[in-house]
Amino acid sequence: MTKPVSSVPYSFASQTSTIPLSYLDTDFGALVTDLNDLNNYSNYVADTGSANVIVLNYPAGISTSTIATGCQLQFVVAATNTGATTVTVQVNGTTILAATALILESGSALSSGTLVVGSIYGIIYNGSKWVLTGTGATGTGAVASGAIYINAQNISTNYTFPTGYNGESVGPITIASGNTVTVTTGCRWVIL
């Protein structure tokens, strides 16, 4: 015969106490909320929208209060964008954050081909807009289905090549007054 358990030990900091199981039974709502809090872990879903309209649909337990400055989301894009793009966040098909602009780290709107169908992207909420991460300050990188690599023509910040890395750019390249590009010993920067 099994004896019923009426309480379980738990530890808080260095103190151990016993609480009734009934406290846990009524508090699972808080646990579910914490597990579904977008700021507690990486969130990945498939975009269900169309070109220029990203729709991210998450499970229950997420609310508008969980989408705060710094909230990060990851998704696989459903369609290559053709221009400025928005992100809508839903929970089980109900919109909790309406279409909000998606911008580059530079603050500019996305241009055609920035998002490529089937590719995975990360975005961060800045309190009013979603920012596409990992694209560099000007949103440079692979476009046109990955066949063309674009780069800015002006460098307006200091940059030092990390040891063990090389770089390439298509010129002309202008380095703004007061800024420098340092090519670390053993590294190469090729300008075509």
Can you tell me the distance from the alpha carbon of 90 to that of 100, in angstroms, rounded to the nearest whole number? 12
> What number of other Cβ atoms are within 10 A of residue 56's Cβ?
22
Question: What is the pLDDT at residue 85?
Answer: 96
pLDDT at 5: 47
Q: Which helix (H) or strand (E) holds 164?
A: none
Q: Where are the domains of the chain?
A: 7-142, 151-192
pLDDT average, residue stretch 141-168: 76
Identify whether the C-beta of residue 140 lies closer than 8 Å to the C-beta of residue 168. no
Q: What is the pLDDT of residues 30-55, one digit of tens each?
A: 666 666 665 555 578 899 999 999 99
11 — pLDDT class (breaks 50, 70, 90):
very low
Contact 74/46 with Cβ under 8 angstroms?
no
Kindly report which listed range (18-27, 64-73, 161-170) carries the lowest average pLDDT score: 18-27
Summarize the confidence of residues 20-39 as an average pLDDT: 62
**DSSP strands (E only) in 42-140:** 44-46, 53-58, 72-76, 85-91, 94-103, 120-125, 130-132
Global confidence as pTM: 0.54
Tell me the C-alpha to C-alpha distance, in Å, between residue 43 and each of 35, 39, 171: 11, 9, 39
- pLDDT at 177 (0 to 100): 93
Based on its alpha-carbon atoms, the radius of gyration of the chain, rounded to whole angstroms, reads 24
Q: Which residues, in sequence order, are CB contacts of 7 under 8 Å at separation 6+?
A: 18, 19, 20, 21
137, two tokens:
């300050």
On average, the pLDDT of the chain sits at 78
Share of residues in the chain with pLDDT > 70 (%): 69
113: phi then psi, degrees, rounded to nearest 5 = 85, 5
Contact criterion met (CB below 8 Å) for 150 and 143: yes
Q: Inform me whether the pLDDT recorded for 188 exceeds 90.
A: yes
pLDDT tens-place string over residues 69-125: 888 888 999 998 888 999 999 988 889 899 999 998 878 888 877 888 888 899 999
pLDDT at residue 106, as a whole number: 75
> Residue 10 pLDDT more than 50?
no
Most confident of 42-46, 57-61, 128-132: 128-132
